[in-house]
Amino acid sequence: MADGARMVEVRPETYSYVFNPYREPIARVEPGDRVVIHTDDAFESRITKKEDIPSRALATAKLLNPQTGPIYVEGAEPGDTLAISIESIEPSRDFAVSVLVPYFGGLTSTNFTRTLQEPLPERVWVWNLVDGGNRLVNEDLGVELDWEPFMGTLAVAPDLEAITALAPGPFGGNMDVPDVRPGNTVYLPVWNEGALFYTGDCHARQGQGELCGVALEITSKVTVVFDVIKGKEIEWPRIESDERIMVVGSARPMEDAARIAYAELVLWLEEEHGFDRWDAYQLLTQAGGLYVGNMVDTTYSLVASIDKTYLRS
Amino acid sequence: MADGARMVEVRPETYSYVFNPYREPIARVEPGDRVVIHTDDAFESRITKKEDIPSRALATAKLLNPQTGPIYVEGAEPGDTLAISIESIEPSRDFAVSVLVPYFGGLTSTNFTRTLQEPLPERVWVWNLVDGGNRLVNEDLGVELDWEPFMGTLAVAPDLEAITALAPGPFGGNMDVPDVRPGNTVYLPVWNEGALFYTGDCHARQGQGELCGVALEITSKVTVVFDVIKGKEIEWPRIESDERIMVVGSARPMEDAARIAYAELVLWLEEEHGFDRWDAYQLLTQAGGLYVGNMVDTTYSLVASIDKTYLRS
Amino acid sequence: MADGARMVEVRPETYSYVFNPYREPIARVEPGDRVVIHTDDAFESRITKKEDIPSRALATAKLLNPQTGPIYVEGAEPGDTLAISIESIEPSRDFAVSVLVPYFGGLTSTNFTRTLQEPLPERVWVWNLVDGGNRLVNEDLGVELDWEPFMGTLAVAPDLEAITALAPGPFGGNMDVPDVRPGNTVYLPVWNEGALFYTGDCHARQGQGELCGVALEITSKVTVVFDVIKGKEIEWPRIESDERIMVVGSARPMEDAARIAYAELVLWLEEEHGFDRWDAYQLLTQAGGLYVGNMVDTTYSLVASIDKTYLRS
Amino acid sequence: MADGARMVEVRPETYSYVFNPYREPIARVEPGDRVVIHTDDAFESRITKKEDIPSRALATAKLLNPQTGPIYVEGAEPGDTLAISIESIEPSRDFAVSVLVPYFGGLTSTNFTRTLQEPLPERVWVWNLVDGGNRLVNEDLGVELDWEPFMGTLAVAPDLEAITALAPGPFGGNMDVPDVRPGNTVYLPVWNEGALFYTGDCHARQGQGELCGVALEITSKVTVVFDVIKGKEIEWPRIESDERIMVVGSARPMEDAARIAYAELVLWLEEEHGFDRWDAYQLLTQAGGLYVGNMVDTTYSLVASIDKTYLRS
């Protein structure tokens, strides 16, 4: 992108809680514009201190994970691919929060995996940004962690459906994948005129799996640049970094997410990198990467990858 | 381990195809001995060239994944933990093989995930060791990969059960986890006098997930040193490297393997590293690692980890 | 319902392919009205003879499973429960069809459970209504089956989301559960003013699991009577027959659907039938029913039940 | 079987807690003998009254689910099928018990589906045999249930492996399927000389799913007659009643058990009943049965079935 790119700032008046093809765009941008997007955290800033009780703080919230959007990208049409280059994620407050919410997370029963057991205790952890914003510290844990921000949620509107902003899927969504970070480019299928882009739920950082269900949630200012790849159809989100190409599969059970991610990566190697299908299968067997993005959302997200050094052309 | 340690060489006359508490030990060693173990590959060297047809080559083989063992470790008793420090893995031939076997692997239907579809085509890839054994090359793929060997299978005999060598589980087994590699230490629960250790199925390398079901299979000479931690009980395999501590969970569906691995790691942080249970849960949420070791065996193996830098003593 | 009930006929001009809270009602009815609803089959009547090739016949169809609706039920408000008494299902043609669609069904890989295998062959079976509409016969199979019609799909609009008509869920939807049949009453949660009821996808009959993914699909005329239970909140669809009470849970993996169905039934016995929670758990252990409605849709639907003879009041 | 059949009584001195090909037979019988087998309950009669605390009563028990066996059936060889005709199950005490064991059952987290939650409360229910043994009554529930006994566990020894008696599988085992009842015939694959039959864990009755993990456990006297079908190989357990033929699939996740059960039934219809494979798939789609036997054991057991009326001899 040229440095002389136009800058467009998107500051939402209200949020969307679904990835919705029917909602009016809140901004229109051109490919190549530098788009600065303001996002709230997953709890719409209702939880900010250790003494907050999540179930009480969220009792009046009808819905979670507020999204900024949709942003209409000029020229994007069904059958295209939307490329989102992530330039930066800046915090708009000096702390992050994580919490335990009843019946939500990776090591508790949930609305999906039902048991008759009591919930885990509620808890709030506040992590303060220190060291010029380079690190986060929580005093209870006595641990410092690096600032490694990414967008927990980014999506295009699905085709015909309006889907909760808590869901990951072919449209991207609430994938909670740390590789959706500055320096990387995310590719999403386009089903609607203007692509109708949504984002929110930025994280100061997160481990693989997002174990308790809630990363280091922040309010933030995200800068992205869109590109539209005309006539190129993809089925599932792809990510490209300097070192690797990746596919994100989201499904339950988790092995189905793994199958989707790796099957799409096999086909990608076959279609664009000159490998025979079975040679691609072999290469990924010996050199592929497969980590868990989230094990807590409505479907699980797994990331399959291969280093670019192994690719032809 | 002292450099003056006694060296014991274990060269099997026959292999075991189960992790079996009833089989006579083929060697007895002391903690601290340097134990050199000869292993065959998962196909007992029946497939060695591109023209081999796996289903035919394996038709006369009653069982797969031959194991060297059991090795009796003096002093190990039920309720202890066996520590296996892996010193080195050396190839005993100059190539590795990988194959497509009908109805086996991550992107095909299998004996467990049954469909009425035809199998994938059969294939053999031979990868030659080059560059003084530092790299492997396959001419069809035109790709070179680093030599990064590990033990696909290592186990202690279960309590009462004799379990196929194709299975991973609490006893270790066919985990196919690349972190079972030289420089690292693996910890397994002990259920029998002498622990009754088995190993085999060494791999020249493997991607995460072992996608097609067959890594770069090698015959090899493995050097390990055992230690017995008296009176310490663990539930699932643990691994320690210079940088990280890890737990391997094996189960189906894959989310159950993830739950086991992370739950055990939470408890480990609580019991040995001074974290409150919920703080441990929080730390792993923000800084834990979770990758797929295998998505192809009788149960799936996932590895949860945390960097040692975050641990209190 | 009084026999003198008003009769309202609902004949759609266009169909909906999502359970959509934003779509304008196509009819408004009162509780107690006898509502006659015309439905098309899951393929919108594009496949009618043995020679049809499903993938070709459906190539121009953007979406599947056309729904008649929404029907606005006067008086229904968020927080209520909608009761749907099914009076009759009459065929509006003299045959039913079932087909094999590529990568869809219970014994093939699918969009969710991905493999690299070829699809199963395509096939169409036409089953003719004979014996005065009491039985169906297919000449290839040489088998006659009883006419046991039910509604494969019935739903209320979700809260905020618009969800594909191929999906089952808390809103009902494409459950493919044979107990949604004449003589039984289905209960659904209400999230929107007027409940916004949809139905379609009637089946002449179906086995448990809907194995190949396509039941005996018919066009039909369904007669139902609505009732609104004010202020009663339920979480998942319930069904009542003369003999049993039932809950339908829909989720992946299938054990999560089983957990939902039985957990909701435990709570139902506790709340309305005077059982201690653990006694309810015990009763269902010894006398509950649990069958698979569908093993082919976007989530699996399982039906947990208990005979009314065991219930107190 | 001729009424003049020889009667053989099998009364074990010790039990087996694994299905073990290495254990010495405790009895040898001929096909056609009427074999009367004494079995203990799953808790080896350690829990007999409401006041017992399961975790304490079982604390000294190393293993659960004691099996009577192996019984050597003359003439059975690897590659044959063993047919077990169940003549009767008689209680050998006048009550049955069911309990809640910590972290075991369908609506709790378990050793496989791990969470950090507290366990459910412990409970014991004693059900007394009344009405001449035709019904069972529990006073807390105030419910009477019919006596509908079956064998929770019956197995042949696996090939090479010795597997916990808590597991169901291709060898039969702890399937907890109510159709393993008097009047029906069960078919199991034979991997060892003499088949090496085990049984135990009889239930006075059980709902589908065995929800809390523990049916109405009884001590009993089982009468069976064996037959050996020479040269017939089957892959998974089959059951035949007067009305239906059935296959039991056991796996995790549950959908894999469903796939196994129905895939094997498709092949059975193709091989022995003259159906084209795709016609068999179609028939089971429209008329098959699929219920959950257990949702609580090491793998889940599902039963696929078809009425004999649809079969061509």
Q: Which of D116, D248, D260 to mutate to test the interface with B (most CBs of B within 10 A)?
A: D116
Facing residue for B125 by CB, picked from A141, A282, A304: A282
Report the candidate in D69, D199, D22 with the shortest Cα–Cα distance to residue B160: D22
Task: Identify the residue among C112, C196, C268 best suited for mutation to test binding to A, counting A beta carbons within 10 A and taking the highest.
Answer: C112
Please indicate whether, in this complex, the C-beta atoms of D116 and A107 are within 8 angstroms of each other: yes
Q: Which amino acid is at B283?
A: L
Among C171, C241, C180, CA closest to C210: C180
Does A281 have pLDDT greater than 90? yes
Amino acid at C87: E
Kind of pairing between the strands at D34-39 and D7-10: parallel
pLDDT, tens digit, 9 for 90 and up, residues D267-292: 999 999 999 999 999 999 999 999 99
Q: How far apart are the first and last CA of chain C?
A: 22
Residues paired with residue D126 on neighbouring β-strands, in sequence order: D97
Chain D nearest-CA distance from B18, in A, is: 7
Nearest CA-CA distance, residue B227 and chain C, Å: 41
Query: Do residues A97 and A124 make contact, with C-beta atoms less than 8 angstroms apart?
Result: yes
Q: Which of C282, C295, C306, C312 to mutate to test the interface with D (most CBs of D within 10 A)?
A: C282
Alpha helices in chain D (DSSP H): 54-57, 254-272, 277-287
Contact between C248 and C177 under an 8 Å Cβ cutoff? The reply is yes
Do residues B262 and B288 make contact, with C-beta atoms less than 8 angstroms apart? Answer: yes
Contact B290, A216 (CB under 8 A): no
How far is residue C154's CA from residue C19's CA, in Å, rounded to a whole number?
Answer: 10
Nearest CB to C116 within list A63, A114, A281 = A281
Give which of B30, D209, B159, A158 is closest to C249, Cα–Cα.
D209
> In this complex, how many residue pairs, one in chain A and one in chain B, have their CB atoms less than 8 Å apart?
174
Residue type, C120: L
Give the C-alpha separation, A251 to A249, whole Å: 7
Strands A34-39 and A7-10, sheet pairing: parallel
A141, B285: Cβ pair inside 8 Å? Answer: no
**Using the beta-carbon criterion (under 8 Å), do B119 and C118 form an inter-chain contact?**
no
Q: Which of B100, B104, B116, B212 to mutate to test the interface with C (most CBs of C within 10 A)?
A: B116
Q: Determine the distance in angstroms separating the CA of C239 from the nearest CA of chain B, rounded to an integer.
A: 30
Residue C295's closest chain D neighbor by CA? D255
Locate tokens 């019935």: which residue?
Answer: C154
Q: Which residues contact C213 (CB under 8 A, 6 or more apart)?
A: C100, C101, C104, C105, C106, C296, D285
Is residue C29 in a domain? Answer: yes
Q: Which residues of D touch B (CB under 8 A)?
A: 17-18, 20, 22, 63, 112-116, 160-164, 251-253, 256, 259-260, 263, 266, 277, 281
The verdict on residue D2 lying in a domain is no
Q: Do A285 and B205 touch (CB under 8 A)?
A: no
Question: Which pair of structure tokens corresponds to residue B213?
Answer: 């079901």
Condensed to tens digits (0 to 9), the pLDDT of residues A151-189 reads 999 999 999 999 999 999 999 999 999 999 999 999 999
CA distance A121 to chain D (A): 9
CA distance A70 to A82: 14
User: Cβ D207–C287 below 8 Å, yes or no?
Assistant: yes
User: Which residue of chain D comes nearest to B63, CA vs CA?
Assistant: D160
Out of B107, B116, B253, the one facing C115 most closely (by C-beta) is B107
Residue to test with chain B: of C117, C118, C212, C259, most B Cβ within 10 A: C117
Consecutive 10-residue averages of pLDDT for chain C (313 residues): 82 97 97 98 96 90 91 98 98 97 97 98 98 95 97 97 98 98 98 98 98 98 98 98 98 98 98 96 98 98 98 78
SS3 C279: helix
Tell whether ipTM is more than 0.85. yes
pLDDT value at residue B313: 62
pTM, 2 dp: 0.98
Rounded CA-CA distance B196/B226 in Å is: 12
B281 φ/ψ angles, rounded to the nearest 5 degrees = -60, -45
What is the rounded radius of gyration, in angstroms, for the C-alpha atoms of chain D? 19
Residue among B18, B259, B263 minimizing CB distance to D161: B18
Identify all chain D residues contacting A117, using CB atoms and an 8 Å cutoff.
108-109, 115, 117-120
Residue A59 confidence (pLDDT): 86
- What percentage of chain A has pLDDT greater than the value 90? 96
pLDDT at D3: 66
C-beta atoms of D117 and A119 within 8 A: yes
Q: Are D145 and C106 in contact (CB < 8 Å)? A: no
Residue C258 lies in a domain: no
Query: C108, B120: Cβ pair inside 8 Å?
Result: no
Q: How far is B110 from chain C (nearest CA, A)?
A: 10
How many whole angstroms separate alpha carbon B176 and alpha carbon B186?
Answer: 13
Q: Which of C20, C112, C160 comes nearest A63 by C-beta?
A: C160
The sign one gets for the Cα dihedral A108, A110, A115, A119 is: positive
Residues D211, C285: C-beta atoms closer than 8 Å? yes
Best mutation site among D108, D211, D218, D244 for testing chain C: the one with the most C CBs within 10 Å? D211
Per-residue pLDDT reduced to its tens digit, B189-246: 999 999 999 999 999 999 999 999 999 999 999 999 999 999 999 999 999 999 999 9
Of residues A162, A253, A259, nearest to C161 (C-beta):
A162
Q: Give the closest-approach CA distance of C19 to chain A in angstroms.
A: 9
Give the integer Cα–Cα distance in Å for C291 and C308: 17
> How far from A67 is each of A192, A213, C21, D267, CA to CA, in Å?
18, 18, 20, 50
Chain C residues in contact with A22 by the CB 8 A cut-off are 22, 162
- The distance of A207 to chain C (nearest Cα, Å) reads 24
Task: Give exposure, A27-66, as e/b (b: 16+ Cβ within 10 Å).
Answer: bebebebbbbbebbbbbbebbeeeebebeebbeeeebbbb
Q: Report pLDDT for B2.
A: 57
User: Closest partner residue to B255 among A253, A259, A284, by Cβ?
Assistant: A253
CB B118 within 8 A of CB C119: no
Q: State the DSSP H helix or E strand holding residue A248, giving kind and residue range, or none if neither.
A: strand A244-251
Please give, rounded to a whole number of angstroms, the shortest distance from the CA of C25 to a CA of chain A.
17
The domain of C209 spans 7-233
Tokens describing residue B197: 């250790």
3-state DSSP assignment of residue A266: helix
The arithmetic mean of pLDDT across residues B71-82, rounded, is 98
Edge to edge, the sheet with strand D135-138 lists: D95-100, D123-130, D135-138, D143-146
pLDDT recorded at residue D312: 76
Q: Which helix (H) or strand (E) holds A306?
A: strand A300-307
Question: Is B117–C114 a contact, with Cβ atoms under 8 angstroms apart?
Answer: no
Identify the pLDDT of residue D62.
73
With contacts defined as CB-CB under 8 Å, which chain C residues touch A63? 160
**How many beta carbons lie within 10 A of that of residue A3, not counting itself?**
5
Name chain C's partners: 3 or more CB pairs within 8 A.
Answer: A, B, D
Low-confidence ranges of chain D (pLDDT < 50): none
C244 occurs within a structural domain? no
Q: How many CA atoms lie within 13 A of D117 on its CB side?
A: 31
Instruction: Please give the pLDDT value at position B193.
Output: 98
Residue C118 lies inside a defined structural domain of this protein: yes
On the question of pLDDT at A312 being above 80, the answer is: no
Is D284 within 8 Å of D270 (Cβ atoms)? no
Residues of B with CB under 8 A from a CB of D: 17-18, 20, 22, 63, 112-116, 160-164, 251-253, 256, 259-260, 263, 266, 277, 281
Residue A96 pLDDT exceeds 90: yes
Beta strands of D101-191 (E only): which ranges? 123-130, 135-138, 143-146, 150-156, 163-164, 168-169, 172-173, 185-189
Tokens of D203: 């239930």
Amino acid at C122: E
Interface of B with C (CB under 8 A): 107-109, 113-120, 253
Q: Are D167 and B169 within 8 A, CB to CB?
A: no
Find the helix or strand (DSSP H, E) in which A282 lies.
Answer: helix A277-287
Structural domain count of chain D: 1
Q: pLDDT at position B4, please?
A: 72
C-alpha distances (whole Å) from C282 to each of C130, D107, D276 are 45, 11, 44
| Chain B with chain D: Cβ pairs closer than 8 A | 64
What pLDDT is recorded for position A61? 75
Instruction: Search chain D and give the residue with CA nearest B19.
Output: D161
Alpha carbon A86 to its chain centroid, in Å, reads 12
Q: CATH no. for residue D113? A: 2.60.120.580
Chain A residue with minimum CA distance to D252: A253
Could you tell me where the beta strands, DSSP code E, fall in B252-310?
Answer: 289-294, 300-307
| Minimum Cα–Cα distance from D115: chain A residue | A107
pLDDT above 60 for A1 = no
Residue C17 within a domain: yes
- Cβ contacts (< 8 Å) between B251 and chain C: which residues? none
The first and second tokens of residue A296, run together, are 């807590």
Condensed to tens digits (0 to 9), the pLDDT of residues B99-153 reads 999 999 999 999 999 999 999 999 999 999 999 999 999 999 999 999 999 999 9
Pairing of strands B220-229, B34-39: antiparallel
Is C195 contained in some domain?
Answer: yes
Q: Is B22 left (phi over 0), alpha (psi -120 to 50) or beta?
A: alpha
> How do beta strands D220-229 and D289-294 pair?
unpaired
Q: Identify residues of C whose CB sits under 8 angstroms from chain B CBs.
A: 107-109, 113-120, 253
Closest to D82 in 3D by CA, of D5, D186, D201: D186
Residue B301 has pLDDT above 60, yes or no: yes
**Residues C24-62 as b or e (16 or more Cβ within 10 Å = b):** ebbbebebbbbbbbebbbbbbebbeeeebebeebbeeee
CA–CA separation, D281 and B1 (whole Å): 62
A7-45: pLDDT as tens digits: 999 999 999 999 999 999 999 999 999 999 999 999 999
- CB nearest D117 (choices: A108, A114, A253): A108
Q: Report yes or no on C125 lying in a domain.
A: yes
